[in-house]
A and B are shown apart, each in its own frame.
Chain A
Amino acid sequence: MADRLHELVARSLMIDGATVTDDLRYNSIPEWDSVAHMSLIAELEDAYSVMLETDDIIAMSTVGKIREILRKYDVEA
């Protein structure tokens, strides 16, 4: 079954979904720079109806970390 978070990350960063894993790291690919990060945050907030703390946005350094932090907001991504 496709992972909803992986799909969202792939769509937001405009990259091939097959390349997205929980280990994918911020700034490790040109498509995931700081500007793309804020677009990704907006998509996450819309998709899961949350407003993330700034410190959490900074801490979202990998896809896995995003998943972990979203749990704090009662979101199972």
Chain B
Amino acid sequence: MWRPDLLAGRVALVTGASRGIGRAVAEALLQAGADVFVHARRREAADAACAALAGPGTVRALGFDLDDPAAIRAGFAAVQKEAKRLDILVNNAGILREALVEMASQADMDAMWGTNLRGLMIACQYGARLMARAGGGAILNMGSIMGRVGNPGQSVYAATKAGVIGFSLSLAKELGPKGIRVNVVAPGVIETDLIAATPEPVRAALLGRVPLGRFGTPQDVANLIVFLASDLAAYMTGQVIGVDGGLVV
């Protein structure tokens, strides 16, 4: 049953939570009663986000680079030390560097693979280990509609997001017996800083492909994540769920 304190007593970690979708997710989890670790690559950015967030749950900042495996371990060790448990892991952090495939640099390939996929995999490894001890948990990995349908100029990004889907579906099977549910949330076009900076003709063309007639908001994504993280979704695992207004790409 739904109730306002749906996630009371749960400990959550949201990566890339200093702004945009991640921040909305952190805030929504907090308001649903969870204690939330707000992650950003730079600790100062996480601190600033924490200062602006409020809710019944507690909020704590974490700063580490997802492209650095040792730093990820240290981050999860801090969670283990401070909260002793982890119930919800939202792997939201990701980077997008657009380039035509002939011009995609190896540095950009490495950066997107390192953060979007390898970093997410390692976070899942540590997160699952903490969750297994408490008898279960929920992992939400941020995919993208581009990982399913592809997009010009986003081949490397789309490959990492397709990878997130394959990885997550495998985890759902492997970790199900431990009570850990793993789902993928695949946002469409969401109103963030990135979209705000998009030229008007491009925005209009994009909007024309969204049957619901508007871009999504970070809150639209956060609402889905609160649901999937909660016991309301207790029988859902191994799903890729779009929150895209019916976007046709």
Chain B nearest CB, measured from A46 CB (Å) = 7
- The main secondary structure of chain B at its interface with chain A is helix
B77 within 8 A of A: yes
Q: Which of B69, B73, B122, B132 is in CB contact (< 8 Å) with A51?
A: B73
Encode B84-127 as 1/0 by CB contact (under 8 A) with A.
Answer: 00000000000000000000000000000000000000100110
The closest CB in chain B to the CB of A41 belongs to B129
The closest CB in chain B to the CB of A46 belongs to B133
Encode A44-74 as 1/0 by CB contact (under 8 A) with B.
Answer: 0110011101100000000000000000000
Question: Which B residues touch A51, using CB under 8 A?
Answer: 73, 76-77, 80, 126
A38 within 8 A of B: yes
Question: Which B residues touch A50, using CB under 8 A?
Answer: 77
Beta-carbon contact of A42 and B129 below 8 Å: yes
Question: Which B residues touch A41, using CB under 8 A?
Answer: 129
Q: Which of A38, A42, A46, A53 has most B Cβ within 10 Å?
A: A53
Q: Which of A42, A45, A46, A54 is in CB contact (< 8 Å) with B125?
A: A54
Question: Which B residues touch A46, using CB under 8 A?
Answer: 133
Chain B nearest CB, measured from A59 CB (Å) = 15
Beta-carbon contact of A38 and B73 below 8 Å: no
- The main secondary structure of chain A at its interface with chain B is helix
Encode A27-45 as 1/0 by CB contact (under 8 A) with B.
Answer: 0000000000010011001
Question: Which A residues touch B73, using CB under 8 A?
Answer: 51, 53
Beta-carbon contact of A38 and B132 below 8 Å: yes
Beta-carbon contact of A38 and B133 below 8 Å: no
Question: Which B residues touch A45, using CB under 8 A?
Answer: 80, 129
Chain A nearest CB, measured from B83 CB (Å) = 13
Measured in the bound complex, the distance between the Cα atoms of B66 and A15 in whole Å is 39
Q: Which of A41, A45, A51 has most B Cβ within 10 Å?
A: A51
The closest CB in chain B to the CB of A43 belongs to B133
Measured in the bound complex, the distance between the Cα atoms of B133 and A46 in whole Å is 9
Question: Which B residues touch A54, using CB under 8 A?
Answer: 122, 125
Q: Lowest 9 A-B CB distances belong to which pairs?
A: A51-B77, A42-B133, A51-B80, A53-B73, A54-B125, A51-B76, A51-B73, A42-B132, A42-B129
> B residues bordering A, Cβ < 8 Å?
69-70, 73, 76-77, 80-81, 122, 125-126, 129, 132-133
> A residues bordering B, Cβ < 8 Å?
38, 41-42, 45-46, 49-51, 53-54
Q: A38-B132, A41-B129, A42-B129 are in contact. List 8 more A-B contacts (CB 8 A).
A: A38-B129, A42-B133, A45-B129, A46-B133, A51-B73, A53-B69, A53-B73, A54-B125
21 A-B pairs within 8 Å (CB atoms) are namely A38-B129, A38-B132, A41-B129, A42-B129, A42-B132, A42-B133, A45-B80, A45-B129, A46-B133, A49-B81, A50-B77, A51-B73, A51-B76, A51-B77, A51-B80, A51-B126, A53-B69, A53-B70, A53-B73, A54-B122, A54-B125
